[in-house]
Structure 1
Amino acid sequence: MNVLQQKEAEIEALKSQLKKQADEIASLKKQNEWYIEQLKLRQKEKFGVSSEKADENQMTLFDFFNEAEILRQPIAAEPDEKILVPAHTKQKTKRGAKLDALPVETIYYKLPEAERVCEICGSALTEMKKELLENDLLHADETTLKVLHEPGKTSTSKSFMWVYRTSVCAEHPVILYDYQEGRSGDYAKTFLEKWNGTYLHCDGYVGYKKLQNVTLCGCLVHAKRKFHDAWKVSKANEAAKTGETYIQKLFAIETRADKLELTDDKRLQLRQKESQKILDEFYEWGIGILVNL
């Protein structure tokens, strides 16, 4: 190999090395952008204002659950007052100070299992759950709930309120709430153990996968929220905006069906004609995004 060929070989090697470094830089840049986006999302979740904010005068469902806890809060002690008299000041005696020396005893009384359900309400709940479990399609969700002064739990621990409901198209709509101390999928599995339905509409929480022989239907509202949040933290994220746009198109079709008051059969025909095409495109687009990650 002469000198010229050797130099050409060295140049090609350097070009190859530069290309490899450029690819690594591009990959690291993409990773860095992803980490920055995740950081912004976490900051938004922790400090941002919720987009699902209710009217400040509206009483939420959980206000009813927490009402007893609110009322049982100890009354704040009255501030000490000083009464000014000529030549000196006199400390006002605290109300109830003479009772401080009395012993205090806390007694927890736990009702037997048979007495924990109202005879009247209990039978109604049994019938409602029976009606709920007869439906082929159900919806499920869970949310955190803080219960104050709960025996055996710290004030910072979280409990969960699980909700199960029938479709709005059900002949007898039913909504049931189930309070539990945790978020394990076993709670949903136990609650629905006698259900022989086919479809459970829920979010992407992995706990629902503990249910056997059930098709989990992902919630597009939850999916849209993820795309929207990703776009808000980075307006340059065209993929996030595209994903949200696909779902908005599907929602627009459903809104049109609602306004036209279509029957179930007519709505199905509309979905097969218009929604199916959008879903297919959405799926192919999503696969392409995953391949290029």
Structure 2
Amino acid sequence: MNDVAKLEKENELLREELARRDVQVESLKEQIRLFLHKKFSASSEKISPDQLGLFNEAESLAEDVSTEDESVTTTVKSHERECKPRVSIPDELPREDIIHDLPEEDKVCPHDGTELEVIGSDDLEQLDIIPAQIKVIRHRRLKYACPCCEGHIKTAARSVKLPIEKSIASPGLLAYIATQKYCDALPLYRQSEMFKRIGIELDRTNLANWMVKVGDLVQPLIDSLQSYLQQKELLHLDETTLQVLDEPGKKAQSKSYLWLMASFGDQPVLLYHYSPSRSQETPNAFLSNQTKAIMVDGYDGYQPACNSYDIVRLGCWAHARRKFIEAQKAQLKKKTGKADVAINYIQKLYQIESRTKHDPPDKRFEIRQKEAKPTLEKLRKWLDKSLLTVPPKTALGKALVYLANQWNRLTNYVEDGSYPIDNNAAERSIRPFTIGRKNWLFAKSQAGARASANIYSLVETAKANGLNPYEYLRHVFETVPNLSSDNTMGSLLPWNVVLD
């Protein structure tokens, strides 16, 4: 090899090394921009209507994404101030009247001395609140004795069973504590302090033990809800982390998981399940041969269950869009790029769903085939081209790879009008738990984690069915201990319960 050829080869190697370095530098710059955006900017993924108006057709932008030098004309809707309605006070609330009357000397007409008559009143209504009142329920079992021999004594049996025998906690108190923690995210130690302010000493250890016991008490009802869900053809699944301090063979800092299985519709059910791991065993236990399709994220642990039960797996377009929004945030400001192209394509799919959300499944299927499918075909062509030109380790490259890997799952929704386009409903349903987790941080034991999952299931299912969580829990805690062996839990399913 002569010197010229040797130099050319060395130059080629150097150019390749510089190209790799450029990609690495750009990737690091993206990470810095994304970190700054997460730290100091709004976290909303909502897309401005003005931004959507920049492009009449996403594919027209796909031809040339270097439009930062082009002038773009947008029409911005004029601002209209919206008047917020006054807060209304429900008519069913009890009223207490405070009468403001005239002095006696002013009840006479100054013109002719005639006594004035009441013709009405000018009313101002104010909301008042009485702090929580506590009373003691005393179960008195009357005792009888023979007045003659005094050798026969008989005590009346208690007519009802209690959720926790020999405990000071009534069904109402248990429901109150559970609602405060699992509905309002109020940790037990704060509740303990609140009870102290009204003169009641309730140690948080006792409160925790009560929650574990009622969590076990409602397990048959949880089993009934799970059996009901397993008969549903479409299910939403999601999972989030949970820290449990005392788990066999695991460090206190290790992660456990709370899984959600949900069905939305006329009789919604939201069922939470604690598991020490994120393994495929939980989806396998949740699902059944009756399940036709599941809406999940990109986690591979769901796939074995889909294979075992022949379930259609639906991908979440919100997850795919989120990755492109992150890539958009990581790109240079005022620069239009490929991330904008993908977001606009996906937004077209969502606009179709928004127009058809109230249509029956058969009509929605026709519109998806007519409008969404061509959009998906254009997006796929653009995706295949982009994969060849974008480095996979950049934010945009990761979004493109995710979209390509999940493509078949993401596009399954167009094959049935009843399938959802994303898993947002399940993500909204798991948010109450994540908010509560920020307050109470962890579960002490596996029993506590299972109890929390059970009570969260009842609270969120009650809310989804339009029931007051406190009233529903109180009804459940009163009824479950007194169900006979012939009775099933069907009467306690939220849609079968009528609360006073």
Q: TM-score range by the shorter chain?
A: 0.5 to 0.7
Query: Residue 282 of structure 2 is aligned with which of 183, 187, 198?
Result: 187
Deviations 1:212-261 (A, max 9, x none): 42332210011111110111121347122222111111111111113xx3
Is 1:36–2:155 an aligned residue pair? no
Q: Residues 144 and 48 from structure 1, CA distance in 2 versus in 1: closer, same or farther, beyond 3 angstroms?
A: farther
Once the two structures are superposed, residues 71-127 of structure 1 have per-residue CA deviations (whole angstroms, 9 ceiling, x without a partner) of: 37789xxxxxxxxxxxxxxxxxxxxxxxxxxxxxx99x999x999632xx4443333
The corresponding residue for 2:291 is: 197
In 1, the alpha carbon distance for the partners of 2:26 and 2:317 equals 26
Q: CA RMSD of the aligned region, Å?
A: 4.1
> Which of 208, 223, 226 is matched with 2:323 structurally?
226
Task: Give distance in 1, aligned partners of 2:31 and 2:38.
Answer: 10
1:126-147 superposed Cα distances (whole Å, 9 cap, x missing partner): 3322221122221111123456
Q: Which amino acid in the other structure matches residue 272 of structure 2?
A: Y
**Structure with larger RCO (C-alpha < 8 A, sep 6+):** 2
**In structure 1, how many angstroms separate the alpha carbons of the residues matched to 2:270 and 2:214?**
24
Deviation digits for residues 48-72 of structure 1 (CA, Å, limit 9, x no counterpart): 76438xxxxxxx9985385344437
Aligned partners of 2:301 and 2:15: how far apart in 1? 42
Question: Aligned pair in 2 of structure 1 residues 19, 154: CA closer, same or farther (>3 Å)?
Answer: closer
TM-score by length of 1: 0.64
Q: How does 1:64-213 map to 2 (within 5 A)?
A: 64=183, 66-71=185-190, 117-118=216-217, 121-146=218-243, 150-152=245-247, 156-166=253-263, 168=264, 170=265, 172-192=267-287, 194-213=288-307
- Which entry has the higher C-alpha Rg, 1 or 2? 2
The answer for unaligned runs of 5 or more in structure 1 is 1-8, 53-59, 76-105
Q: Which amino acid aligns with 1:238?
A: G
Percent identity, aligned pairs only, is: 31
Give the letter aligned to residue 317 of structure 2.
Answer: L
Going from structure 1 to structure 2, the CA distance change for 1:243 and 1:73 (only over 3 Å counts) comes to farther
Which stretch has the larger CA shift, 249-258 or 29-38? Answer: 29-38
Query: What amino acid is aligned across from residue 245 of structure 1 in structure 2?
Result: N
The answer for the alignment partner of 1:249 in structure 2 is 348
Distance 1:42 1:124 in 2: 45
Number of residue-to-residue matches in the alignment: 240
**One-letter amino acid of the counterpart of residue 339, structure 2:** A
Higher mean C-alpha displacement, 125-134 vs 39-48: 39-48
SS of the equivalent of 1:138 reads strand
- 2: CA distance between counterparts of 1:66 and 1:139? 24
Unmatched tracts of structure 2, length 5 or more = 46-178, 195-204, 392-500
Q: Which amino acid aligns with 2:276?
A: E
Residue 265 in 1 paired to residue 362 in 2?
Answer: yes
| Letter aligned with residue 207 of structure 1 | G
Residues 36 and 211 of structure 1: CA distance in aligned 2, closer, same or farther (over 3 Å):
farther
Q: Is the 8 A contact 1:138 1:199 kept in 2?
A: yes
Distance 1:115 1:64 in 2: 16
TM-score, length-scaled by structure 2: 0.40
Does the C-alpha gap of structure 1 residues 139 and 177 become closer, same or farther in structure 2, counting only changes over 3 Å? same
Of 332, 338, 356, the residue aligned with 1:239 is: 338
1-structure distance, mates of 2:223, 2:190: 30
Q: Which amino acid aligns with 1:176?
A: L
Q: Retained in 2: the 8 A contact 1:230–1:237? A: no
Alpha-carbon distance, 1:12 to partner: 8.0
Matched residues in 2 for 1:180 and 1:277: separation?
Answer: 42
Shift of 1:42: 5.8
Aligned partner of 1:32: which letter?
A: V
In structure 2, how many angstroms separate the alpha carbons of the residues matched to 1:190 and 1:266?
Answer: 34
2:295 is paired with a residue whose SS is strand
- Aligned partner letter, 1:151: D
Indicate if the aligned counterparts of 2:242 and 2:256 stay in contact, CA closer than 8 A: yes
Q: CA deviation at 1:157?
A: 4.4
Which amino acid is 2:279 matched to? S
Q: SS of the counterpart of 2:216?
A: coil
Partner of 1:51: 44
Distance 1:254 1:159, change over 3 A: same
